[in-house]
């Protein structure tokens, strides 16, 4: 009678636990059962730890359940190893968007004079948060990581540019939270689809003769990096606002 391999069994359990983590983390957020950051931790770190252990122990289990070893459980070891590979691939794919990008989460078209947040500090979730731009270190990293971002200039008057900005924001799925047409300030939030992270956005418009200069700032509420999400948002706005 073959002796069961404990390592193979543990790897199988860990593989299943890891798959549950990468599924239940986002589902818990969508259902409103867990906060966004907690669900993300379950997905990323719970899945990563379980997946890595499942792969390592599954590989050991495959060795220990080889034909010459006389131990039972090769199927469980294989299940654990394959689950580990799948989990690591899912987590790595989610993180791949940030490869090579700086670990910053406050991006603007004008690091030398970024738009301020006028109303965002009054929104739920922002109470007591410092919404000031982080300063020179962020600015230097942004210039290196996102050299294409710069002040947007469009050949329309400020009132027309403001209306275009509102239209672009709404088309992109932003929720407008503050609007000051005379002052040329528009603020909004956008919530990510899967993990429900909320980012704050400020758009500042200034007249430049008959044209308008537009600066945008997008800031994440949680995390140290943003996987390029804020820069992507600014580029999408730029594309909308400059479209013929």
Q: For 200-210, what is each residue's pLDDT tens digit?
A: 999 999 999 99
CB contact at 8 A, 46 and 207: no
Whether pLDDT at 68 is above 80: no
What confidence score (pLDDT) does residue 99 get? 82
Q: What is the mean pLDDT of residues 95-103?
A: 84
- Same domain, residue pair 60 and 175: no
Percent of the residues in the chain that have a pLDDT greater than 90, as a whole number: 71
The domain spanning residue 233 has which CATH number? 3.30.530.50
- Same domain, residue pair 37 and 123: no
Residue 70 C-alpha from the chain's centroid: 48
CB contact at 8 A, 37 and 198: no
Tokens of 89: 């691939």
Query: Does the CA dihedral 107-108-113-118 come out positive or negative?
Result: negative
- Same domain, residue pair 113 and 231: yes
What confidence score (pLDDT) does residue 4 get? 61
What confidence score (pLDDT) does residue 147 get? 95
- Residue 1 — pLDDT band, cuts 50, 70, 90? very low
pTM of the model: 0.86
The bridge status of strand 198-208 relative to strand 185-191 is antiparallel
Q: How far is CA 63 from CA 32, 153, 159, 209, in A?
A: 43, 64, 71, 74
Domain boundary among 47, 63, 98: 98
- Residue 235 makes CB contacts below 8 A (sequence gap 6+) with 148, 149
d(CA 116, CA 204): 8
- Same domain, residue pair 130 and 43: no
Whether pLDDT at 28 is above 90: yes
Q: How many domains does the chain have?
A: 2
Q: What is the mean pLDDT of residues 208-213?
A: 96
Q: What is the mean pLDDT of residues 226-236?
A: 95
- Residue 81 — pLDDT band, cuts 50, 70, 90? very high
Measured CA angle at 190 (ends 163, 231), to 5 deg: 85
Domain boundary among 61, 78, 98: 98
- Same domain, residue pair 167 and 48: no
- Report DSSP state, residue 218: E
Residue with tokens 């109470």: 127
Domain boundary among 75, 98, 121: 98
Q: Mind listing the pLDDT tens digit for each residue in 118-153?
A: 999 999 989 889 999 998 888 999 999 999 999 999
- Same domain, residue pair 92 and 119: no
Q: What is the mean pLDDT of residues 172-182?
A: 97
Q: Considering only CA atoms, which of 82, 92, 9 is closest in space to residue 48?
A: 92
Range of the domain at 215: 106-242
Which range among 40-44, 91-95, 160-164, 226-230 has the greatest average pLDDT? 160-164
């Amino acid at each position: 009678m073959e002796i069961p391999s404990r390592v193979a069994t543990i790897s199988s359990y860990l593989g299943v636990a890891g798959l549950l983590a990468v599924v239940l983390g986002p589902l818990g957020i969508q259902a409103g059962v867990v906060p966004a950051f907690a669900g993300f931790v379950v997905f990323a770190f719970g899945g990563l730890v379980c997946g890595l252990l499942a792969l390592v122990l599954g590989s050991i289990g495959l060795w220990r359940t080889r034909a010459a070893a006389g131990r039972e459980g090769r199927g469980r070891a294989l299940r654990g190893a394959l689950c580990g590979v799948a989990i690591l691939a899912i987590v790595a794919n989610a993180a791949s968007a940030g490869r090579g990008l700086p670990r910053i989460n406050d991006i603007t078209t004008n690091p030398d004079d970024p738009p301020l947040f006028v109303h965002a500090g009054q929104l739920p979730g922002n109470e007591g948060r410092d919404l000031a731009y982080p300063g020179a270190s962020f600015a230097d990293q942004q210039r290196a990581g996102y050299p294409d971002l710069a002040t947007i200039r469009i050949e329309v008057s400020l009132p027309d540019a403001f209306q275009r900005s509102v239209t672009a924001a709404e088309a992109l799925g932003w929720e407008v939270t503050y609007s000051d047409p005379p002052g040329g300030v528009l603020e909004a939030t956008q919530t990510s689809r899967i993990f429900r992270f909320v980012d704050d956005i400020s758009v500042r418009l200034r007249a430049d003769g008959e044209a308008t200069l537009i600066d945008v700032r997008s800031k994440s509420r949680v995390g140290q990096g943003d996987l390029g999400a804020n820069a992507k948002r600014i580029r999408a706005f730029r594309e909308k606002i400059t479209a013929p």
